[in-house]
Structure 1
Amino acid sequence: MSPQRKLELERLFIAALALVISAIFFWMIRDYLAALFLAAVLTIFLQKPQTWLTDKFGGRPGLAAGLLVTGSVLALVIPIGFLLGVIAEQAIEVTGLVAPWVQEQVTAIREEGLDGLPEWLPFREAIIEYQATVAAQLGNLAGTVGNILVSSLRAGTGGILIGTLNFFILIYALFFFLLKGRDMSRSAITLVPMMEKDRRMLAERAISTIRATVKGSFLIAIVQGSLTGLGLFVAGVPGAIFWGAIATLLSIIPMVGPPLIWIPAAIWLFLSGQTVPAIGLAAWGGIFISWSDNILRPILVGKDAKMSDLMVLISTLGGLTLFGAVGIILGPVIAALFSSVWFIFREAFAGLLEVDEEEEFEQQLKDAKDPPDEPTPGM
């Protein structure tokens, strides 16, 4: 076997071994990948303050990193913990209101039937015909509302250990990345077998997309959640803070979230006889809440991420489905890398993929004017 062939086989074996070991390693730490990813995202935003504080402290990066980590924990954990307490309290209140209300409607349906439904209601006759089934299903819903809450609390309690470990890993990884993140990223990117300009472009697209997604999506979520909670509070909907928090979470999904909260709330107000608050809430949601998404998202997300609204939407939804909560950021990053990789592919194979359209068009004109001579019969 020639030395060149032996070298190629050795490189192939090393590459395969690296991929297998890496796959096993990532599978082993899969429960903590989200914490590591979030630490890396926070590092991107804290890198400039880290450099500034290091200079101010006379070249002591450890002190600067420790101060930034402590400040980040105090700035995020305390307000979020307080807000979660209020949300949990209102969640219990909402659950206590929803179950009796549904049971009351079920009882009314069983006693009076559905003949009192308004004439304009779609599928009114079909609903009346199947009123027994409707009543039974509403009864089941009322019976399971409490069970859903209890099951959610149990699931959250069961994940306390993993959550605690993830929190400490997040804190330590953030401190470590602030100290060593730049050197690690430079070393990691050199492992990508591409030209320097292509590697740099991939890294810049990933970082710019992360910045755009975090700044844009989360700012939009806070704005829309606040507007939704304010509208519900003014309209007199119980648990406005709780529903506003739910709208904040749903707002991360482009063009979908808050209407899932304020539209049913407006319908509930209308069916409860509160016509003016229902109309006001619907107008508030349709004008201010929805348009805030239409105005802010293209400016904050699509522009910096250099992706269309459609790409942002499908990548966010796909990321949520595949990776969970961190997919909100990871989905658009993968979409940005997808478009960048195909741009690099086009550049690498430009000579094979591109056709001189002008020359092709002139050749077609020439063939049309001077068709090839047909063979004479008998020759």
Structure 2
Amino acid sequence: MYAKLETRTFLAMLVGVSFAFIWLMKPFFGPIFWAVAIALIFHPVQQLLVRRLGERPNINALITLMICMIIVVIPVLFLGTALIAEGVGIYQKIQEGEIRPGEYIDQVNRSFPAIQAFLAQFDINFGELRDRAVSAILGGSQFLAKQALGIGQNTFQFFLGLALMVYLAFFLLRDGHKLVELLIKALPLGDERERLLFAKFAEVTRATVKGNLLIAIIQGALGGLIFWALGITGALLWGVVMAIVSLLPAVGAAIVWVPAAVYLAAVGDIIPAIILTAFGTIVIGLADNLLRPILVGRDTKMPDYLVLLSTLGGIVLFGINGFVMGPLVAALFMAFWGIFIREFGEEAHASRPECEPGSKDED
């Protein structure tokens, strides 16, 4: 009796301490999450180095991390800096009156009055929609301006998070397999189940990060290129915005290029509007429709509609990290239920008594 009390007390304290540790790590969730993602994505690179250089954990992890810094971290930092700089510039122009979003929307309404009539059929007030659109544009540019100011004021915190991510990624690259084996020993789920779940976790993380980011880069680059070719102001900014919104399946970059094409047609630039529409539909759209099922859906082994719903839900709940967290939760949900159906469903079926051949129930 006393032994059971000791065990229960220990387990209760174990759960309490674990939750306390998670709460303690909450401020560093972002760096920790992306350190894990880096370790998973670049694990094949490290394995290649192990085959070429032998078992040299520190050297192999350091080289892998340097490759990651060169091809991912540093370009993202430069791109983020350029995005914020362009956003601040547009915000200043809006404040000074050089850019007037409301007038652009009014121009579209004057050129295409059918739009207002169409919206009226659904009891949508064009004036309210216009005000919301203007507020969204102002809010977005103001957000980028605040981010620039915030990074300037919290430079130490920003670089602390970046340094923490890189530091953790090094140790996860070096000792990740040992940590996984330790977790397999600690978790009371059964070694086979745990290995299956960890494999699914790694598979989905790699697929969503690599797939979504690659699609985002391709769509953002294509969108920025066509905007630059057509002489649209802020091509770099809009290219990065298209890359970000392309994380949303089904809609993606069309949120940006469709209004731009409509405005070009409204001001009389018919040929550029047609070019942008054709390029957006055929090139940018096909890049999403063809690559996303291949890069994301196939590797996660989830249907397209579930990838869409889990991505949207993840972004709502977890912010920008949700484009990975959402599909990851959905994949683990499917993995857990798959294990349950395979193991417990078979047990229930095996224990069910079977009727003898030819026997009949009699009243």
Q: Do the two structures share a fold, i.e. TM-score over 0.5? A: yes
1:308 aligns with 2:303: yes
- Give the conservation status (yes or no) of the 8 Å contact 1:39–1:177: yes
User: What CA distance in whole angstroms lies between the structure 2 residues aligned with 1:282 and 1:68?
Assistant: 41
Q: How does 1:209-224 map to 2 (within 5 A)?
A: 209-224=204-219
> Which residue is equivalent to 1:375?
none
- Cα distance, 1:17 vs structure 2: 1.5
Q: 1:183 to 1:74 in 2, by over 3 A?
A: same
Return the match for 1:122 from 110, 116, 122. 116
Q: How big is each residue's C-alpha offset from its partner over 1:239-284, in whole Å with a ceiling of 9 and x where there is no partner?
A: 1111011111111121122011101111121122211111221121
Q: How big is each residue's C-alpha offset from its partner over 1:196-251, in whole Å with a ceiling of 9 and x where there is no partner?
A: 22122111111111111122111111111112112222222111111011111111
Which ranges of structure 2 fall in alignment gaps of 5 or more residues? Answer: none
User: What CA distance in whole angstroms lies between the structure 1 residues aligned with 2:255 and 2:88?
Assistant: 20
Q: 1:132 to 1:227 in 2, by over 3 A?
A: closer
Q: 1:14 to 1:281 in 2, by over 3 A?
A: same
> Which residue is equivalent to 1:286?
281
Q: TM-score, normalised by structure 2?
A: 0.83
Please tell me the residue identity of whatever aligns with 2:98. P
User: What CA distance in whole angstroms lies between the structure 1 residues aligned with 2:99 and 2:47?
Assistant: 57
Return the match for 1:193 from 163, 188, 206. 188
- Give the conservation status (yes or no) of the 8 Å contact 1:235–1:278: no
> Which residue is equivalent to 1:64?
60
User: What CA distance in whole angstroms lies between the structure 1 residues aligned with 2:216 and 2:258?
Assistant: 17
- Give the conservation status (yes or no) of the 8 Å contact 1:114–1:131: no
Return the match for 1:346 from 341, 344, 353. 341
Task: Provide the aligned length of Structure 1 versus Structure 2.
Answer: 357
> Which residue is equivalent to 1:165?
160
Please tell me the residue identity of whatever aligns with 2:63. L
- Cα distance, 1:312 vs structure 2: 1.1
> Which residue is equivalent to 1:377?
none
User: What CA distance in whole angstroms lies between the structure 1 residues aligned with 2:50 and 2:153?
Assistant: 41
- Cα distance, 1:79 vs structure 2: 2.6
User: What CA distance in whole angstroms lies between the structure 2 residues aligned with 1:114 and 1:50?
Assistant: 54
- Give the conservation status (yes or no) of the 8 Å contact 1:102–1:138: no
> Which residue is equivalent to 2:199?
204
Return the match for 1:79 from 75, 78, 90. 75
Q: How big is each residue's C-alpha offset from its partner over 1:303-341, in whole Å with a ceiling of 9 and x where there is no partner?
A: 111111111112222222222222222221111111111
User: What CA distance in whole angstroms lies between the structure 2 residues aligned with 1:138 and 1:329?
Assistant: 28
Q: How does 1:21-170 map to 2 (within 5 A)?
A: 21-54=17-50, 56-57=52-53, 59-96=55-92, 99-102=97-100, 105=103, 118-123=112-117, 147-170=142-165
User: What CA distance in whole angstroms lies between the structure 2 residues aligned with 1:251 and 1:172?
Assistant: 30
Q: TM-score, normalised by structure 1?
A: 0.80
Which ranges of structure 1 fall in alignment gaps of 5 or more residues? Answer: 373-379
Q: 1:100 to 1:344 in 2, by over 3 A?
A: same
Q: Radius of gyration: which is bigger?
A: 1
Q: 1:116 to 1:347 in 2, by over 3 A?
A: closer
- Cα distance, 1:169 vs structure 2: 0.8
- Give the conservation status (yes or no) of the 8 Å contact 1:50–1:61: no
- Give the conservation status (yes or no) of the 8 Å contact 1:90–1:239: yes
> Which residue is equivalent to 1:299?
294
Q: How big is each residue's C-alpha offset from its partner over 1:35-59, in whole Å with a ceiling of 9 and x where there is no partner?
A: 1121122112333433443565564
- Give the conservation status (yes or no) of the 8 Å contact 1:43–1:177: yes
> Which residue is equivalent to 2:14?
18
